[in-house]
Amino acid sequence: MARVADVSMHPPRNGADLQDWHAAAAADALARLATSANGLDRDEAARRLSASGPNQLPAAPRQNPVLRFLGQFNNALIYVLLAAAVAATALGHLVDGAVILAVVLVNAIIGFIQEGKAEQALDAIRDMIAPHAIVVRDGERHKIDARRIVPGDVVVVEAGDKVPADIRVLRARGLTADEAILTGESVPADKMEEPVAEDAPLADRRSMLFSGTLVPTGQGMGVVVATGSSTEIGRISGLISEVGAVTTPLLAQINQFGRWFTWFAIVMAATLFAFSTLVRGYNPVDALMVVVALAVGVVPEGLPAVITITLAIGVRRMAARNAVVRRLPAVETLGATSVICSDKTGTLTKNEMTARHAATASGVILATGSGYAPEGKLTDLAGGDLASDPVRDDLMRAGLLCNDADLIENDGSWRVRGDPMEGALVALAAKAGLHPEAEREAWPRVDEIPFDAQHRFMATLNRDPAGGLRIFVKGAPERVLSMCSQEAGAAPDAPINMEYWRQRLDEAAAKGERLLGFAVKTAPPDVERLDFGMVETGLTLLGVVGFVDPPREEAFKAVALCRSAGIAVKMITGDHGGTAVAIARQLALADEPKAIEGVALDGASDEGLRKVAEEASVFARAAPGHKLRIVRALQANGHIVAMTGDGVNDAPAVKQADVGVAMGLKGTEAAKEAAQMVLLDDNFTSIVAAVHEGRTVYDNIRKVIGWTLPTNGGETLVVILAIAFGLVLPMTPVQILWINMISSVTLGLVLAFEPAEPNVMQRPPRRRDAPILSPFLIWRVVFVSLLFTLAVLGVFEYAIGRGYSEAGARTMVVNTVMVLEIFYLFNVRYLHMTSFSLIGAAGTPSVLVAVAIVVVAQVAFTYAPFMHALFDSAPVGFTDGLLIVAIGVASMVILELEKMAMRRFWPAAWRAD
């Protein structure tokens, strides 16, 4: 890493000299990197980016595609199949050996493709969640992709940010950094401008911010000294946890099930081989081919691959709906979400603040206009013009100066650069007749205490036009009131009229307004830096301003959809209780939203909190610890909880939740690091859309299992019964392999692409402990396997009775199996409703393509001479072909009747599914 040597290591004691010393150290650091406090210009930044490369760590090495393909053959069943193929070829059964190898190859290709899809999805996720940073270029602040930061860039950081590169601190105000990933220290390190020795240990470099660390508190500015692999964390590559492929609990469960089933199949095949050779007198080679084919038929070896594809498709669908899944377990968990804990601002509401009311000791005024456009005027509540009021002017000025936001006009549209509430204050000041730029030039800022969630206020030190110094404070009304000793405009010794201000706060909260309090204090003329002791007491209260942030139009529908899906929505906010309840009523979070203040949770036991968390819909004035306890209480009640958050104070609760959701636009890097999902549009509707997709993914996984196991079971049961009772095999081993190969690459794959069933959001959430094989699916495996077995044996006996040869009868059986699988596919597409509908019959493009491939393959199997030679098949008459289709239709009718009976006579098992 490029080290920046500092000026003299011994700071002076005198205040003025200390300021000069800081300035000299900062200037030296900037000069050594050939930059300035105004940052780099665009051309120089582009040149340095070309020279130094993007600010990112090298991607983890990918496995060679050839090795990845060969890895698909690394499991016990494949070894058995390969051994069988070698044995069959050595014994002269060339066709059987070739078909077995084809089955193995097809399965390997499926696995190879699904792994490639997973890598592509994860690459897309990495790109979508790339962090951003605020840099100063050409004297202006810009938000850029952190990968485009270069050495010499001047970067601004604040509480909640993730440090994007190694940075020499030039300016710090209450700045700390959590450097646990580098130093192992659990306590955040204080950061300051003072230089340290060049050989200081990493943990003692107080003038440095390191890439990958988090900023819990404060605000600062610094110059980038190293990026990418040159950073400290770049040197310690093992400490960086990048988004990567994760084996989800469900997939791990499926893999375990597949391994168990594989060994079960091997044991069953060995038993059947012994029985067929020792009891039934089969030729050992023929018996070997039968049991190998049987093992291929019974084991759902492609199930993990198809399920992984289903998950990957779900990830992509969610991303298309502005919900980026960072960790794959969230895909399967989302569908079971039973409670969504959401912040209010920007998620349920528009996050377009408008300063609507302002209250001083002399009365309340109304501001017209909306959004950030500085258009409108101030009137009294009756709509009349206002008399001159110096206190009101001071209130407007305080809102403008204790403020870091700017308003930007673009083609007649106004937007805010900075905090939305601060932008609304700039617009309010303009409506009051103050010119923002002129006022800020006339009242230059000397120092400030940035807003911090712990202290709940911001303070600035400004020099007035006459040369004096004034301290302006802005913050939560209760906090500001506690810091004040008098009211502006009142007698110096008159106490604050707390009853009046409580009434103003309650009135504003009842209107759903968010509130900020403002105060002022004259500072001594020699003060150059602010500290907390100067503002904690002795302030003069100017007034409060009420802001409205109306609910998003789409949030009304999203909340209603959640309630219909059995998902409770709970608002956890730092706002005043009245404000939160007003918004909750508008959104109909509950029939009658019940609210509780965070302070009431402090004394509640864990058991008591469980009851409160269940009953309340709104948690107001909630601190980070409250949010964490609420999430834990809901989880203790058996709920699967999704928690949204945007700030560093939300990160603990977001991480604790079953599905942590971070805001992509206004969310801090700390919240994104803790989350499993990131919303690209900060919209509550996107959470609901993600739940919808999560339920669809889980439904499709169940459909894949519900189709695969019964169809495999039917094939297996037919062969077992034939051997057990000494019957002629209805299918030869090579024909069983043909069925398995064709169906696995067509019908077995399309269910992963199924759209959501129409009632997917009208069902209650599934239980946290819901098993993979629900009672309904277990019943389906048994019932469908028996139905397939009866149909196959019946067709075989019918064909022999009609005078077909064994080859012809077996051809009818193979076609019957494929037709049954096709019709069962249409049946299983809708597990919660009937498949007898126009939409159900039409199918999806994926289904129709798969069916077309199977039909073409079966026509070739039945009528192509070369297929006759390969698979010992024979032509089937047209009438008998219609009979096979009729059997498929009849099976679907039976299965639809079974659905109706299940809903009526076994509703508990149906609902549990």
> Which H or E element spans position 651?
helix 651-656
Asked whether the beta carbons of 68 and 47 are under 8 A apart, the reply is no
Task: Report the length, in residues, of the chain.
Answer: 913
**DSSP strands (E only) in 664-796:** 677-679
Query: For residue 227, with 0-12 CB atoms within 10 Å meaning exposed, 13-18 middle and 19 or more buried, which class applies?
Result: buried
Catalytic residue among 96, 161, 166, 343: 343
Q: Is 540 helix (H, G, I), strand (E, B) or coil?
A: strand
Q: Which of 825, 797, 801, 795 is nearest to 813 (CA)?
A: 795
Q: Which residues contact 723 (CB under 8 A, 6 or more apart)?
A: 272, 275, 276, 280, 282, 290, 729
What is the 3-state secondary structure of 256-314? Answer: HHHHHHHHHHHHHHHHHHHHHHHCCCCCHHHHHHHHHHHHHHHCCCCHHHHHHHHHHHH
Q: Helix H segments across 356-402?
A: 390-401
| Pairwise CA distance, residues 448 & 686, whole Å | 37
Asked whether the beta carbons of 891 and 786 are under 8 A apart, the reply is no
Q: Match 């996050």 to its residue by tokens.
A: 351
Asked whether the beta carbons of 855 and 823 are under 8 A apart, the reply is no
**Rg, C-alpha atoms of the chain:** 35
| Pairwise CA distance, residues 799 & 713, whole Å | 23
Burial 296-332 (b: 16+ CB within 10 A, else e): bbbbbbbbbbbbbbbbbbbbbbbbebbbbbbbbbbbb
- What φ, ψ does residue 457 adopt, rounded to 5°? -155, 165
> Which pair of tokens denotes residue 58?
């090298």
Maximum distance among all alpha carbons in the chain?
Answer: 115
Find how far residue 543's CA is from the centre of its chain.
41
Query: For residue 289, with 0-12 CB atoms within 10 Å meaning exposed, 13-18 middle and 19 or more buried, which class applies?
Result: buried
Q: Which of 358, 349, 313 is nearest to 331 (CA)?
A: 313
| Pairwise CA distance, residues 851 & 825, whole Å | 10
In degrees, rounded to 5, the angle at the alpha carbon of residue 102 between the alpha carbons of residues 97 and 108 is 130
| Pairwise CA distance, residues 173 & 167, whole Å | 15
Q: Match 């904690």 to its residue by tokens.
A: 536
Q: Is 181 helix (H, G, I), strand (E, B) or coil?
A: helix
Residue 681 annotated among the catalytic residues of the structure: no
* Long-range contact pairs involving 407-414 (C-beta distance under 8 Å, separation at least 24): 407/372, 407/374, 407/436, 414/371, 414/372, 414/373, 414/374
| Pairwise CA distance, residues 579 & 567, whole Å | 23
- What φ, ψ does residue 172 adopt, rounded to 5°? -140, 135
- Identify the DSSP state of 159: T
Active site residues: 343
